[in-house]
Amino acid sequence: MRMLITGCKGQLGNELRRLLETGTAEIGPIPEELRDTEATFIDVEQLDITDSAAVDAYFAEHEFDVVINCAAMTNVDGCEQVEDTAYRVNAIGPENLARAAASQGAKFIQVSTDYVFPGNEPGERVESDPTGPISAYGRSKLAGEQLSQAANPRTFVVRTAWLYGYVGRNFVKTMLRLARELGAMTVVDDQLGNPTSANDLAYELLKLSLTDDYGVYHCTNEGTTSWAQFTRAIVAGAGYDPDIVTPCTSDEYAAAHPAAARRPLFSALKNEHLAQTIGNEMRPWQDALADYLRNLPQLEG
């Protein structure tokens, strides 16, 4: 299999590289059919996915069977300030890649987000639930879903949430730094979702790439929690007193950070389509976090 992975310097791109190079994820071995994959890893320095001519020229010189797009503008607050840029990266870029992949008959995997939902109803969202993003980031990612599917009938849209990996910046690393440097933190406790290991997500993306079950998928670690409870688990797992975490409400956080984007209150996802097709092997979020904290000293980058 010839595979292109964009955004290779990010959290998910690095985990896909790790799995393909080692042949295994924390969940278990990757499928045998992927052991001889010819993977090409690129980032913006090699290809600006927002430039349609550049994308077309790149694909004219390379052929792929699968394209996994991990490139994105993921700074949720930053997207509010430059929504046009977020749209180019998160919507036009995926459309360009999906169209180019379609010209070669290649499958396309677009990674999306729980923030495509408004989050105004309790419970877990399934793939068929109505979308309605309340942030620039969510709007740009929803547009990326729609444009990708319109450009390539062989498209998988895979929504994930609260992602953390070994390489790059993420919420877990930030909370560990605050625990170490400040010894205390205040974290929102009324937004509920699914913390998700990039290593686990990469495993399921690779499994999906072998199928023809195109469509929208949810792929998060199992279980719902709040940001504050997630933080308590992070600091406790690292040996700190979880009581250093002070909960607050979204309204209190917004008052203290008026430039911050609105986040959905209820954005937990249910991996329904995954379970109906390749099987849902995503672990409880607590188990994935425990492995992450144990491996982080050796794998952090």
Query: Any catalytic annotation for residue 240?
Result: no
- Mind listing the domains of the chain with CATH numbers? 2-170+194-223+266-284 (3.40.50.720)
Whether the model clears a pTM of 0.95, i.e. scores above it, the answer is: yes
Q: DSSP letters along 5-64, please?
A: EESTTSHHHHHHHHHHHHSB-SS-BPPGGGTT-EEEEE-TTT--TT-HHHHHHHHHH---
Q: One digit per residue, pLDDT tens: the chain, 301 residues?
A: 999 999 999 999 999 999 999 999 999 999 999 999 999 999 999 999 999 999 999 999 999 999 999 999 999 999 999 999 999 999 999 999 999 999 999 999 999 999 999 999 999 999 999 999 999 999 999 999 999 999 999 999 999 999 999 999 999 999 999 999 999 999 999 999 999 999 999 999 999 999 999 999 999 999 999 999 999 999 999 999 999 999 999 999 999 999 899 999 999 999 999 999 999 999 999 999 999 999 999 999 8
C-beta separation of 73 from 90 below 8 A: yes
Distance CA 192, CA 162 (A): 10
Q: DSSP letters along 112-133, please?
A: EEGGGS---SSSPBPTTSPP--
Among candidate residues 212, 223, 220, the one with its CA nearest the CA of residue 275:
220
Residue 190: which residues within 8 A CB-CB, separation 6 or more? 226, 249, 250, 265
Helices 198-208 and 285-299, interaxial angle, to 10°? 110
Residue type, position 43, single letter:
D
Helices 52-61 and 93-103, interaxial angle, to 10°? 30
Catalytic residue (choose from 87, 137, 166, 240): 137
Token readout for 201 is 């997500």
- Residue 301's pLDDT is what? 80
Helices 93-103 and 136-151, interaxial angle, to 10°? 10
